[in-house]
Structure 1
Amino acid sequence: MGLLRKTINWYAKLAPGWGRSLPPYEHVVQIGDPILRKVSEPVPVDKIKTDEIQKVIQKLKYVLDKYGSVGMAAPQIGVNLRIFVMRLTATQIAKIPAETIKLKNMSVVPLTVFVNPKLKVVDYNKIIHSEGCESVRSFSADVARYNEVQVKGYNADGEEILHVFKGWPARIAQHEMDHLDGKLYTDIMDRKSLHCICWDEVNLSKGKIVIPFCPQ
């Protein structure tokens, strides 16, 4: 253990509440955290509207906004429950080149909460695109995903819902479902395509670059 970690631990003992936070976190856990490899537990339907579950849902929405992400699953904030949120806004899409939007078949997805989701493949044709994850910060790789899927489950009010997603939204849904099953995109990626998305900046700065694990 390094001197810095020893110092931090020493101060944490002097200041209760200052040290390690408890889930649901306001940050995204990273690959290596055991929670990302656990199969998440279903939520009892009659518990969806309880303060405990609503807190998890609200924290997922908060972290989704904080990171500017398109999807976030409960394990990513340290909670072993089958809940995820997804969203793709017009503002997010507007920042992407038109040819990429067309190539990846991107479309707006309203903020959607899924509790106890079940996924069914509608179109078994697989499409390969580069994919990243907030839990594998600053890396990306090519991943094959089904072109169209159906997801059913419950919303934040405990009501049954069913959505069909195609193209990029289908990729988001499959990615988040993987999280609930203890899987990461690194399990199914084209291994040779894995790369640090800021490799060029690393060279330009002569290696003097810091990769943040949480937005500033």
Structure 2
Amino acid sequence: MATPRGHAPLAEQVEELLATGGPLPIVAAGDPVLRRGTERFEGQLGPGLLARFVEALRVTMREAPGVGLAAPQVGVPLRIAVIEDPAPVPEEVRLVRGRVPQPFRVLVNPAYERIGAVRAAFFEGCLSMPGWQAVVARAAEVRLRGEDEFGRPVDEVFSGWPARIVQHETDHLDGVLYLDRAEVRSLSSNQAMAERWTQPTPEQAAEALGFELP
């Protein structure tokens, strides 16, 4: 079967990335690949190469460590992301944030829509913007549609912290970084987070730093 026009360069790019072995280098904010959006996945990578790429995304995400990673974060403009969250947090944090364990998942061509008007605001970080966190108000519940890595349809409702993760990663595929949606006055270094803002909610940070919560 002939290779569709325009597909070979992406496959070659992924092959070159995988040839290095180990975790893939994560692209930092400022690289245009994070702002251009992505191509829908329509077989640009054959099944074997796709499986190897997904595994490399998983290894990279875990090594970072993070709870999600999108293909453009490793320089590949394809509409593919992975998520996984063991949620090793105290019970109080789990209850307030709705953070429950999420198994490893592959999201292909995902798109979400908010359910209802309720928003939740919490500090959030990004592997492409290391060392910083900021408060982002996001939909508390979303419906996610797309496919998995085998082409099977995904149509699922996420709430709490898992909803935040799928919104964050899907945004990456549209060229949107979390800081685009953040309360900029909340921007805090990881050191400040550890010293000041370890509470389950960002209410104290909002009062001290002068920003509003929904």
Quick check: TM above 0.5? yes
1:69 equivalent in structure 2: 66
Pair 1:194-2:191 in alignment: no
Equivalent residues in 2 for 1:155-166, closer than 5 Å: 155-166=148-159
Q: Please say if residues 48 and 156 of structure 1, whose CA atoms lie closer than 8 Å, have aligned partners that are also in contact.
A: no
Q: Distance in 1 between matches of 2:116 and 2:49?
A: 36
Size of the aligned set, in residue pairs, is 177
Ranges of 4+ aligned residues in structure 1 off by more than 4 Å: 46-49
1:57 equivalent in structure 2: 54
| Stretch of structure 1 that moved more, 125-134 or 59-68 | 59-68
Match of 1:27 among 25, 28, 33: 25
Equivalent residues in 2 for 1:1-216, closer than 5 Å: 22-23=16-17, 26-44=24-42, 46=43, 49-89=46-86, 93-94=87-88, 96-199=89-192
Rg larger for: 1
Q: Distance in 1 between matches of 2:40 and 2:78?
A: 6
Give the drift of 1:157: 1.3
Give the drift of 1:35: 0.8
What do the CA deviations read for 1:17-38 (whole angstroms, capped 9, x no partner)?
Answer: xxxx954671211111111111
Give the drift of 1:52: 3.3
Q: Distance in 2 between matches of 1:187 and 1:73?
A: 17
| Stretch of structure 1 that moved more, 191-200 or 119-128 | 191-200
In the alignment, structure 1 segments of 5+ residues that lack a partner are 1-20, 202-216
For residue 39 of structure 2, what is the amino acid of its counterpart? E
Seen in structure 2, the aligned counterparts of structure 1 residues 200 and 77 have a Cα distance that, compared at 3 Å, is: closer
Q: Please say if residues 48 and 157 of structure 1, whose CA atoms lie closer than 8 Å, have aligned partners that are also in contact.
A: no
For residue 169 of structure 1, what is the amino acid of its counterpart? P
Seen in structure 2, the aligned counterparts of structure 1 residues 150 and 105 have a Cα distance that, compared at 3 Å, is: same
TM-score (norm 1): 0.75
Give the drift of 1:47: 5.0
Give the drift of 1:124: 2.6
Q: Distance in 2 between matches of 1:54 and 1:61?
A: 11
Q: Please say if residues 87 and 109 of structure 1, whose CA atoms lie closer than 8 Å, have aligned partners that are also in contact.
A: yes
Give the drift of 1:156: 1.3
Q: Please say if residues 49 and 158 of structure 1, whose CA atoms lie closer than 8 Å, have aligned partners that are also in contact.
A: no
For residue 29 of structure 2, what is the amino acid of its counterpart? I
Q: Distance in 2 between matches of 1:183 and 1:47?
A: 23
What do the CA deviations read for 1:170-201 (whole angstroms, capped 9, x no partner)?
Answer: 00000001100001011111111101112589
Q: Distance in 1 between matches of 2:151 and 2:134?
A: 36
What do the CA deviations read for 1:122-164 (whole angstroms, capped 9, x no partner)?
Answer: 2331111000001100100010000001112111112112221
Seen in structure 2, the aligned counterparts of structure 1 residues 117 and 106 have a Cα distance that, compared at 3 Å, is: same
Identity among equivalent pairs (%): 34
